[in-house]
């Protein structure tokens, strides 16, 4: 059943409504709240360049293969996938580097995730907030995100341009049908929190996001990447929501 939480419950001090069974935030009563459930005809394809009326863009790095960013029919999700072609591939869902959110201003990120194809060795999948696209997700100038490596292990990761952390959550994605709700709470940038299905993880690690100004500006970002080889990986996002105290 839904319930109300207030200050201190990964809300940046603003009231939220959340599902106590899953941890999903269903309403945020604060200055900035972005939500996309990937429903309707406007999500049947993701453009690869800036398109009027579309929040999202897809970036596809490939040579002869067919990595994909798209919306399966009648599913209400967006899917990001690599194929087994032996080459570098990057399939990215992002905002064409329009970085409208700040990790210094009470940022929160949440998504619901499924992995139809668990990443194999050599693939890394990431989803969260990031600075501008770079060649390889670990080369991005700043990020707050979750990641799944080539063994299915779920990681919590942060980088503010100075301090880089990648910490195991202790959770391995073992089946292709389970859904997880993932939330990042940067309402206190000196102690960023990570949640899975409403439960805090990596609580013994202090994640610091000290970037400010333009260096702290980020966009929602989801990517499946491999530098070479035939490894694969597919994930689906059921929704993405972003909260923030102010600009």
Cα atoms in the Cβ-side hemisphere of radius 13 Å centred on 34? 18
Mind listing the pLDDT tens digit for each residue in 65-110? 999 999 887 789 999 999 999 999 999 999 999 999 999 999 999 9
Nearest alpha carbon to residue 27 among 246, 243, 180: 243
Comparing C-alpha atoms, which of 97, 111, 96, 62 is closest to residue 82?
62
pLDDT at 31 over 90: no
Question: Which residues have a Cβ under 8 Å from the Cβ of 240 and sit 6 or more positions away?
Answer: 34, 35, 36, 109, 110, 111, 220, 222
152-171 pLDDT, tens digit each: 999 999 999 999 999 999 99
Distance CA 123, CA 232 (A): 6
| 145-149 contacts at long range (C-beta below 8 A, 24 or more positions apart) | 145/184, 145/221, 146/113, 146/182, 146/184, 146/194, 148/115, 148/118, 148/119, 148/124, 148/173, 148/233, 148/235, 149/119, 149/124
Other C-beta atoms closer than 10 Å to the C-beta of 234 total: 22
Task: Pick the closest to residue 63 from 231, 228, 233 (CA basis).
Answer: 228
Q: What is d(CA 96, CA 52) in angstroms, rounded to the nearest whole number?
A: 12
CA distances from 65 to 10, 197, 230 (A): 41, 35, 10
Higher local confidence (pLDDT), 53 or 195: 195
- Does residue 194 have a pLDDT over 70? yes
pLDDT at 7 over 50: no
Distance (Å, whole) CA 186 – CA 102: 10
- Domain spans in the chain, listed from the N-terminal domain onward: 32-244
**Does the pLDDT value for residue 39 go beyond 90?**
no
Q: Which of 46, 6, 43 is nearest to 28 (CA)?
A: 6
**The CATH number of the domain covering residues in 32-244:** 2.60.120.200
């Amino acid at each position: 059943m839904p319930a109300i939480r207030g200050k201190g419950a990964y809300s940046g001090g603003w009231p939220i409504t959340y599902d106590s069974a899953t941890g999903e935030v269903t309403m945020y009563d604060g200055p900035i709240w972005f939500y996309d459930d990937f429903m309707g005809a406007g999500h049947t394809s993701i453009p690869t360049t800036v398109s009027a009326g579309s929040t999202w863009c897809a970036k596809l790095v490939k040579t002869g293969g067919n990595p994909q960013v798209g919306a399966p029919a009648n599913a209400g999700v967006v899917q990001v996938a690599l194929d087994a072609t032996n080459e570098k591939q990057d399939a990215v869902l992002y905002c064409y580097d329009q970085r409208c959110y700040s990790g210094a201003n009470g940022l929160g990120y949440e998504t619901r995730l499924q992995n139809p194809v668990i990443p194999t060795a050599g693939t890394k999948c990431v989803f969260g907030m990031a600075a501008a696209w770079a060649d390889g997700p670990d080369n991005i100038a700043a990020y707050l995100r979750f990641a799944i490596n080539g063994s299915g292990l779920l990681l919590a990761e942060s980088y503010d341009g100075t301090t880089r952390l990648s910490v195991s959550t202790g959770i391995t994605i073992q089946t292709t049908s389970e859904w997880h709700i993932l939330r990042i709470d940067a309402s206190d940038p000196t102690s960023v929190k990570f949640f899975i299905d409403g439960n805090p993880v990596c609580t013994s690690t202090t994640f610091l996001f000290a970037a400010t100004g333009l260096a702290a500006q980020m966009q929602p970002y989801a990517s499946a990447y491999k530098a070479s080889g035939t490894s694969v990986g597919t994930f689906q996002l059921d929704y993405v929501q972003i909260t923030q105290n102010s600009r």
